[in-house]
Chain A
Amino acid sequence: MVPTSYYLVLSAILFSIGVAAFLVKRNIITVFMSIELMLNAVNLTFVAFSRQWHQVSGQIFVFFVMVVAAAEAAVGLAIIIAVFRARNTLNVDQIDLMKL
C-alpha cells in the first residue's frame, strides 16, 4: 500500500505549482487553470487523509469542493468573457485601467 505521506507530498507539490503559475503566468485562462490545480491538490489531500483516518467525511468534502469549483468556473469564465469583450485582450498585464 502506498503510504499517505507520498500523496501528501504530491499534493503539496501540485499546490505549489498552482501558486507559482498563478503568480507567474500572464494569460488569464492559464491563471484560472492554476487556481483549479490548487483546488485539485487540496482534493487529493482530503482523499489521502480520509483514507488514513478511515473516515468518509474527507471524501464528502471533496464532492462539495468539486461542486463549488464548477460554480466558480462558470462565473469566472463569464467574467473573463466580459473582460475580453471590453478590452480585447487576455493578458493580465494589459488589464490595468486601475493602477495599484
Chain B
Amino acid sequence: MNDALRILPEIVLVIAGVVLMLADAMMAKQSSRKPLGWLAVVGALAALAASLWQYELPPGTAYFGVVQTDAFSVFFHVLIACIVLVSLLITIDAVKDSTEGLGELFALMLFGAVGMMFMSGATELLLVFVALEISSISTYIMAGFRRKSAKSPESALKYFLLGSFATAFFLYGIALIFGATGTTRIEAIAAAVGAGNTPALIYVGLAMIIIGLGFKVSAAPFHVWTPDVYEGAPSPVVALMSTGPKAAAFAVLLRIAYGAFPLLHTHWVPALWWLAVLSMTIGNLGALRQRNVKRMLAYSSIAHAGYLLVAFTALSAEGIAAASFYAVSYAAMNVGIFAVISHAGEYDDRLTLIDDYRGLAYRSPLLGGAMAFFLISLIGIPFTGGFFGKFYVFAAALHSGLVWLTIIGLINSGIAAYYYLRVVTAVYSRPAEASPVMAVPRPSMPLLLALFLTAAATLVLGIVPTGVLARARQAAQTYPAFSQTAGTPLSER
C-alpha cells in the first residue's frame, strides 16, 4: 500500500484515462465528446493534487527501488500535471463537437502524462525506457490526430521514425552500460563506477544515451525532426509535446548524468557543452529565416533546449535548480503562446504565416496582448518568467566558471529578440487595407482559463520567483554529491 502511494499521481491518471475510454465507447455515436474533455480535466486536477500531496511523503523508493519519490521527482510531477491540465483546456477550446476520436485524444494525453511522470521518478533504466516509450508512443499518435489533413500524418510519420531511431540508440546505450556494470539500477551503476569499474563500454553507452535523449529534447544536432513535427501537428498537441516530454527527458538526463555518472563528469560535461552551444546557435539562426509561426517556435524551442543544457554543464546544485526553474518558466510561456495560436488559427486551418498575424491585436485585443506578452517572456525581458529563467541559468553557469558559454548564450538571446519582436510588431501593426479582415472567434471559457493560468504563471514567475525557486533548490538537494560543492569552480574540484 505504501508503495502505491508513491505512484499515486500515475495511478490516478491511468484510472481517469481508462474510465474516459470506457465512457467514450458507451456514449451514443452522434453525441459530442467534449464533456469527456472535462472528465480528463478532473483527472488531471486529481493528479495535480496527488502530486502536491507527495511533498508530504518522506523521500524514498518503492517497488524494489524502481521508482523514487523525492523533491526532484515531485517537482516534475507537479509541472507535468499542470502542463497536461492546460493542454486539455486548449484542446477543448480548439476541437469541434464533431471531431472524430476525441475521446481517444483526451485519454492519450493522460496516458502520455503517465509516461512523463514515470520518467521523472524512475531510478531503474528499465522503467526509464518503458516510461519514455509510453510518453513517445502517445505523442506519435497525437501528432497525427488530424489524419484527414495532408500535413498531420506526415508530421506523425517523421516524429515516429526519428523518435524510434533515437529510442534504439538510447536502448543500445542501456545495454552497453548493463554489460559494463552488470546492473541497470542508477544507484548501483554509480557504485560500480565509484569502485573504479570503468571499461570503455561505459563511455560508449553513455554517449549513446546522450544521443537518444538529445533527440527527445530536440537538442542540435539531433533537432532535424522538430520544425516539421511542430508545423504539422495540431497546435494543442504541440503545446503539450513541446513542453511535457521535454521536461521529462531533461529530468531523465539529470537523473542519469548526475545520479549514475557524477564521477565521469569530465567526459559528459564537454559533450553537453557542445550540445548547448550548437542548440542555441542553430535554433536561433534557424528561427531567423522562418515565415511560419509554428516553425519559428520550433526553432525557438531548440534554442531553449540549449539554454537548459547550459544549466546542466554548470555541474552544481545551483545549475540543477536553474534547469528545473527554466523548465517551469518555459512550459508556462510556451503552452500559453500555443493556446493563442491554436485559437487564432482555428485549429490550424488558417493563420500560419507571421504575416497572417498582422493586426491580430486590433481584431482581438485579448489574444494579441497575450501573444505579445508570451513573446516578450520568450525573449527574456524583466517582469516575465523568461527573464528569471535565463538569469538563473546564466548565473549558475558564471558561478561555475563557464564564461564563454555564458557569452555565447547572451549573444544568442540578443539574436532571439529580433525574430520574436518581428512577430510582436506584426501583431500590433494595422492590417493592410487590401487584406481581407479575418474575424477571430470569440475566446471560449476553457481558452480564457488556459490563457489566464499560463499568463498568471509567467507573470508570477517574473515578479516573485522565490516560491518556485525554493522548490527547485529543494529538488536539487536530491543530488548530494553536487550540493556540497555548489559554487566552487570546476577547476577546484
Q: List B167-203 residues whose CB lies under 8 Å from chain A.
A: 167-168, 171-172, 174-176, 178-179, 182-184
| Contacting pair B150 A86 (CB below 8 A) | yes
What would be 15 A-B contacts, judged by CB atoms less than 8 Å apart? A15-B172, A31-B161, A35-B161, A35-B164, A42-B175, A45-B172, A60-B126, A64-B129, A65-B171, A72-B167, A79-B157, A86-B149, A98-B228, A100-B227, A100-B228
Q: How far is the CB of A65 from chain B (nearest CB, A)?
A: 7
A-B residue pairs, 5 tightest by C-beta? A38-B168, A49-B179, A82-B153, A45-B175, A53-B182
List, in ascending order, chain B residues with CB within 8 A of A32's CB.
161
List, in ascending order, chain B residues with CB within 8 A of A46's CB.
175, 178
Q: How far is the CA of A38 from the CA of B160 in the complex (A)?
A: 15
Q: Nearest CB to that of B231 among chain A residues?
A: A98
| Contacting pair A75 B126 (CB below 8 A) | no
List, in ascending order, chain A residues with CB within 8 A of B154's CB.
83, 86-87, 95, 97-98
| Contacting pair A39 B171 (CB below 8 A) | yes
Partner among B129, B160, B227, B228 whose Cβ is within 8 Å of the Cβ of A76: B160
Q: Which residues of B contact A (CB under 8 A)?
A: 126, 129-130, 133, 137, 140-141, 144, 147-151, 153-158, 160-161, 164-165, 167-168, 171-172, 174-176, 178-179, 182-184, 224, 227-228, 231-232
List, in ascending order, chain A residues with CB within 8 A of B168's CB.
15, 18, 35, 38-39, 42
The prevalent SS among residues of A at the interface is helix
Q: Nearest CB to that of A39 among chain B residues?
A: B168
Q: How far is the CA of A71 from the CA of B179 in the complex (A)?
A: 26
Q: How far is the CA of A18 from the CA of B148 in the complex (A)?
A: 32
Q: How far is the CA of A89 from the CA of B376 in the complex (A)?
A: 43
Q: Nearest CB to that of B164 among chain A residues?
A: A35
How many residues of chain A get a CB closer than 8 Å to chain B's CBs? Answer: 42
Q: Which of B148, B160, B168, B179 has the most CB of A within 10 A?
A: B168
List, in ascending order, chain A residues with CB within 8 A of B172's CB.
15, 38, 41-42, 45
| Contacting pair B232 A98 (CB below 8 A) | yes
Q: How far is the CA of A18 from the CA of B175 in the complex (A)?
A: 16
List, in ascending order, chain A residues with CB within 8 A of B161's CB.
22, 28, 31-32, 35, 76
Q: How far is the CA of A60 from the CA of B131 in the complex (A)?
A: 16
Q: Nearest CB to that of B286 among chain A residues?
A: A100
Q: How far is the CB of A16 from chain B (nearest CB, A)?
A: 11
Q: How far is the CA of A53 from the CA of B160 in the complex (A)?
A: 34
List, in ascending order, chain A residues with CB within 8 A of B228's CB.
98, 100
Q: How far is the CB of A6 from chain B (nearest CB, A)?
A: 14
List, in ascending order, chain B residues with CB within 8 A of A58's CB.
175, 178
Partner among A31, A68, A97 whose Cβ is within 8 Å of the Cβ of B129: A68
| Contacting pair A97 B150 (CB below 8 A) | yes
Q: How far is the CA of A62 from the CA of B176 in the complex (A)?
A: 14
Known contacts A55-B182, A79-B157; A68/B224 CB under 8 A = no
List, in ascending order, chain A residues with CB within 8 A of B129's CB.
64-65, 68
